[in-house]
Amino acid sequence: MLILGIESSCDETAASVVKDCRTICSSVISTQIEEHKKYGGVVPEIASRRHCENILGVVRSALEQADVELSDLDAVAVTYAPGLIGALLVGVSFAKALAMSAGKPLVPVHHIAGHIASNYLTHPGLEPPYLCLVASGGHSHIIEVLSYTKFRVVGRTRDDAAGECFDKCARAMGFPYPGGVHVDRAAQEGDPKAFRLPHPAVAGSEFDFSFSGLKTNVINLLHNAEQKGTEINRNDLSASIQSTIAGVLTEKTMKAAEALGYERIALAGGVSANSGVRAALSEACAKKGYEFFMPEKSLCGDNGAMIACQGSYNFLAGITADESLNAIATLSMEDI
């Protein structure tokens, strides 16, 4: 079975061909980071325009690198939700036209389900059910992966996502967009105990997150230092931010695992590339004797292979769409 996956929900135009659910035949990613860097974040209209310019070339390269003709494909999978609406519409319209003209089934994929599926590409033995922490620029979720296509969200952020918190703290420290990776690098040289930052509890749900207090605390700390003319060591502050975020994500995931009886845990989303988060969750799982899975680093960020992989499982489960498929900016995983 050969599935083409197309991803355009944010600032990466990506396409990939995946064979038999888990083997990557090609994976092409065209990133727009350099362009959005000038503005300190993703500018939605620019993102849509770049997707529009790049998508044909990216898909063509993915087919060529896999040495696959359109006629060889079993289906065309595409991210249809959630994400920037103008960005999603480019991928959805393109995939729809491609599938309809080639007479192939069209398979809708939820972006977060795609992130979770990046683990199947890395770990051939991983099968549901398991508990997955998904932390990205737009989401922080603890999800029960009940089957390849059924999910239950047991925890979510009440405000900022973990990646958003990394990026906003990074910006306040003067790092370029997207700042998560710069905080990660600086943290390697810093002392995680140098600053005491808030570990926010969320009233009413023990598995929900809140990161906006941490962000505000960091911004205030930097602002006060600037007013007093004192120097803040960015490595120490980065290490403190990283260990706080990694600590909160790990603590809540482990609590949920215990409460719900999961001994198999996975990590996914852009923030799964963070060395502190990877280490904290893997150590906590090792201590408990739980199995732990995380995507290889190249599959943590947005890519087409994760969409093709999840698209394969959706296709096998009979999840297809017709020409009325539309893009959706906000959509819970439980509504797919």
Residues forming contacts to ligand KG4 in the complex (CB under 6 A) are: 10, 136-138, 163, 166-167, 178, 180-181, 184, 269-271, 273-274, 301-302
**Contact partner at residue 178 from ligand KG4, Zn ion, none, CB < 5 to 8 Å by partner kind:** ligand KG4
* Shortest Å distance, C-beta 192 to ligand KG4: 14
**Contact partner at residue 190 from Zn ion, ligand KG4, none, CB < 5 to 8 Å by partner kind:** none
Q: Which of 129, 132, 136, 82 is nearest to 109 (CA)?
A: 82
Q: H helices of the chain, where?
A: 33-37, 44-66, 85-102, 111-122, 162-172, 180-187, 212-228, 234-260, 275-288, 304-316
Q: By C-beta, is 153 or 232 nearer to Zn ion?
A: 153
**Going residue by residue from 301 to 330, which x/- string records binding to Zn ion, judged by CB under 5 A?**
-x----------------------------
**Sheet of 151-156, strands arranged across:** 151-156, 140-145, 130-135, 264-268, 291-293
* Shortest Å distance, C-beta 109 to ligand KG4: 13
**Contact partner at residue 26 from ligand KG4, Zn ion, none, CB < 5 to 8 Å by partner kind:** none
Q: By C-beta, is 63 or 250 nearer to ligand KG4?
A: 250
Rounded-to-integer distance, Cα 81 and Cα 225, Å: 41
Closest-by-Cβ residue to ligand KG4 is 270
Joined together, the tokens standing for residue 220 give 């205030």
State the Cα angle at 239 between 237 and 244, rounded to 5°: 95
* Shortest Å distance, C-beta 270 to Zn ion: 6
Angle between helix 180-187 and helix 275-288 axes, rounded to 10 deg: 70
Binding positions for Zn ion, 247-306, rule CB under 5 A: 302
Binding positions for Zn ion, 49-78, rule CB under 5 A: none
Q: By C-beta, is 16 or 105 nearer to ligand KG4?
A: 16
Dihedral over Cα of 67, 71, 77, 80: its sign: positive
Joined together, the tokens standing for residue 144 give 């029960």
**Contact partner at residue 181 from ligand KG4, Zn ion, none, CB < 5 to 8 Å by partner kind:** ligand KG4
CA distances from 151 to 112, 146, 210, 230, 299 (A): 10, 6, 22, 48, 21
- Residue 232 CB neighbours (<10 A): 16
**Contact partner at residue 86 from ligand KG4, Zn ion, none, CB < 5 to 8 Å by partner kind:** none
Residue 136 in contact with Zn ion, rule: CB under 5 A: yes
Q: By C-beta, is 136 or 274 nearer to Zn ion?
A: 136
**Contact partner at residue 271 from Zn ion, ligand KG4, none, CB < 5 to 8 Å by partner kind:** ligand KG4
Interacting residue ranges for Zn ion, rule: CB under 5 A = 136, 302
